[in-house]
Amino acid sequence: MYETERKELIDSLRKKGITNELVLNAMLNVERHLFVPDVVKHHAYADTALPIGHGQTISQPYTVAVMTQALNPQKNDKILEIGTGSGYQAAVLSQMGVKVYTIERNNEIYNTALKLFDVLKLRIASRCSDGTIGWDEFAPYNGIIVTAGGPSIPKKLLKQLAVEGKLVIPVGDRKNQTLNIITKIDEETFKIKEVPNFAFVPLIGREGWKN
**Domain range annotation of the chain:** 3-198
pLDDT on residue 1: 78
- Label residue 211 by pLDDT band (50, 70, 90): confident
Contact of 85 with 109, CB cutoff 8 Å: yes
- Mean pLDDT, rounded, for 90-117: 97
Whole-angstrom CA distances from 19 to 34, 74, 76, 209 are 25, 15, 21, 33
pLDDT at 168 exceeding the cut of 90: yes
Q: How many CA atoms lie within 13 A of 155 on its CB side?
A: 2
Q: Which of 59, 86, 94, 126 is catalytic?
A: 59
Q: What is the mean pLDDT of the chain?
A: 96
- Label residue 114 by pLDDT band (50, 70, 90): very high
pLDDT on residue 55: 86
Contact of 106 with 87, CB cutoff 8 Å: no
Residue percentage of the chain with pLDDT more than 70: 100
- Mean pLDDT, rounded, for 182-209: 95
pLDDT at 77 exceeding the cut of 90: yes
pLDDT on residue 109: 96
**Given this structure, which CATH class describes domain 3-198?**
alpha beta
Q: Which helix (H) or strand (E) holds 24?
A: helix 21-29
Lowest mean pLDDT among 11-20, 23-32, 46-55, 156-165: 46-55
> pLDDT per residue over 54-67, tens digit each?
889 999 999 999 99
Start-to-end CA distance of the chain, whole Å, equals 39
Cα dihedral 139/145/147/151 (nearest 10): 80
- Residue 21 neighbours by CB under 8 Å, 6+ apart: none
pLDDT at 144 exceeding the cut of 90: yes
Active site residue 129: no
Please give the model's pTM, rounded to 2 decimal places. 0.96
pLDDT on residue 188: 93
pLDDT on residue 61: 98
- Mean pLDDT, rounded, for 34-51: 96
pLDDT on residue 6: 96
